[in-house]
């Protein structure tokens, strides 16, 4: 826009300015008539499909339901036709305040002999030649005593998984 005004002040015609700047003559005339920067027009706010269901959602959140999947299913049953991500975005601020309010770790307690949790993990190391190698680790943790069993293995396949269970027991 500044360039249009500079060219006009230098004596160029509207058509000449339009050719020089590769613009329409009407665009050049518009900016010469009103040299102020154009302001965006205010747009009316669109209503959300979720708007009808926000009282229900806030009531359920106050009851302690913070799972967006559960809330999405419930509002769908009530006629909501929108997307899951809209519900997820609605629930997110409530989840943050809930989590930050209580930063307490709750231990999952079991009776002796009731459960053990197992998993594989992959670990990398440098050998004596400076090469990076990796090895698998089988880990079993008993639920009640938190006793830990670790076994390093070369392959994480079904046969190794069963053998590691037997060795752990």
Burial class, 137, CB count within 10 angstroms (exposed 0-12 / middle 13-18 / buried 19+): middle
166 vs 110, which has greater pLDDT? 166
Residue 107 lies inside a defined structural domain of this protein = no
* 121 within some domain: yes
Same-domain check for residues 126 and 160: yes
Residue 57 lies in a domain: yes
pLDDT of residue 101 exceeding 60? no
Residue 60, token pair as written in the block: 């359920």
Helix, strand, coil percentages for the chain (3-state, nearest 5): 45, 15, 35
Judge contact between 164 and 151, C-beta under 8 A: yes
Whether 75 is in a domain gets the answer yes
Are 133 and 158 contained in the same domain? Answer: yes
- How many structural domains comprise the chain? 3
149 occurs within a structural domain: yes
Q: Tell if the pTM clears 0.85, that is, is over it.
A: no
Supply the range of the domain harboring residue 123.
116-168
Among 70-84, 103-117, 124-138, the least confident range:
103-117
Question: Would you say residue 147 lies in a domain?
Answer: yes
Is 108 part of a structural domain of the chain? Answer: no
Which residues face 142 on adjacent strands?
116
91 and 126 within one domain: no
DSSP character for 106? P
Q: How far is CA 56 from CA 25, 76, 132, 148, in A?
A: 56, 12, 55, 46
Q: Say whether pLDDT at 64 is over 90.
A: no
């Amino acid at each position: 826009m500044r360039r249009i005004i500079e060219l006009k002040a230098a004596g160029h015609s509207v058509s000449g300015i339009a050719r020089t700047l590769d613009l329409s003559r009407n665009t050049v005339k518009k900016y010469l008539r009103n040299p102020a920067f154009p302001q965006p027009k205010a747009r009316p706010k669109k209503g959300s499909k979720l708007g009808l269901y926000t009282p229900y959602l806030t009531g359920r959140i106050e009851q302690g339901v913070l799972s967006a999947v559960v809330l999405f299913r419930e509002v769908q049953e009530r006629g909501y036709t929108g997307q899951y991500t809209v519900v997820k975005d609605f629930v997110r601020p409530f989840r943050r305040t809930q989590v930050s309010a209580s930063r307490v770790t709750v231990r999952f307690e079991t009776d002796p002999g009731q459960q053990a949790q197992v998993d594989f993990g992959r670990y990398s190391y440098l050998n004596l030649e400076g090469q990076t190698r990796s090895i698998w680790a089988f880990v079993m943790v008993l639920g009640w005593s938190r006793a830990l069993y670790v076994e390093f293995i070369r392959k994480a396949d079904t046969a190794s998984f069963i053998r590691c269970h037997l060795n752990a027991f």
